Chains A and B, each alone.
Chain A
Amino acid sequence: NAGVTQTPKFRILKIGQSMTLQCTQDMNHNYMYWYRQDPGMGLKLIYYSVGAGITDKGEVPNGYNVSRSTTEDFPLRLELAAPSQTSVYFCASSSLGFQETQYFGPGTRLLVL
């Protein structure tokens, strides 16, 4: 199993541009999550999904959108990139819920200039 994969690894965006961060897991997990991590800080939950077709907001959802059309994929969309969205983004998945072990991807480093 590849686990949780994320693409791209690194991206530079200009202010106002849009992009989609891809996340795929091959463990057949129902729950998937998106976190962001600013330098020197812990992770903050952006959005999560409890299954295909179901998503919900986390702590810091503003400026982001998600969709979950399949069990495997959970893309994160930035519509109008802002410098405040410069961060490292981690996708994670778990089998039964938040209390289960979460498996994290390698992260996407995003720089908005």
Chain B
Amino acid sequence: DAKTTQPPSMDCAEGRAANLPCNHSTISGNEYVYWYRQIHSQGPQYIIHGLKNNETNEMASLIITEDRKSSTLILPHATLRDTAVYYCIVRATGTASKLTFGTGTRLQVTL
């Protein structure tokens, strides 16, 4: 699976959009981009995933560049409860391909 690079930490004011970047320059054509988050030592929580088209769900939006070498997770109106570590994971389809968690980005949402 391709390796990802994320900034170690970011701050965001409550109510503003949080834009979390992820670089995955060695991504292959059959690899998806997944985002999970982990709130204060709880179990990780799935957020969203995509292949090449932008995706949106009730939690967030995922913007993938046309060359697929980077992506951005967008939390449109961050709240204090969004303070967490966010993991960007790139993995191929197929049952043998595992989730590989790096160290992620620690997002701190402030008043």
Additional A-B contacts beyond A42-B101, A101-B49 (6; CB < 8 A): A4-B43, A88-B41, A99-B91, A99-B94, A99-B97, A106-B42
B54-105 with Cβ < 8 A to chain A = 87, 91, 93-104
What are the residues of chain B within 8 A of A42 when measuring CB–CB?
87, 100-104
Given contacts A41-B103, A42-B87, contact A98 B97 (CB under 8 A): yes
The tally of CB-CB contacts under 8 A between chains A and B is 57
Instruction: Give B residues with C-beta under 8 Å from A.
Output: 32, 41-46, 49, 87, 91, 93-104
Given contacts A4-B43, A105-B43, A106-B42, contact A97 B95 (CB under 8 A): yes
The answer to whether B41 and A58 touch across the interface, beta carbons within 8 angstroms, is no
A22-38 with Cβ < 8 A to chain B = 31, 35
> What string of 1s and 0s marks CB contacts (under 8 Å) between A82-113 and chain B?
00000010101000111101111111000000
The answer to whether B98 and A98 touch across the interface, beta carbons within 8 angstroms, is yes
Given contacts A98-B91, A99-B32, A99-B91, contact A45 B98 (CB under 8 A): yes
Interface size class on chain A is: 20 to 34
> Which of B41, B45, B87, B99 has the largest count of A CB atoms less than 10 A from its CB?
B99
A43–B43 Cα distance when bound, in Å, is 10
The answer to whether A104 and B43 touch across the interface, beta carbons within 8 angstroms, is yes
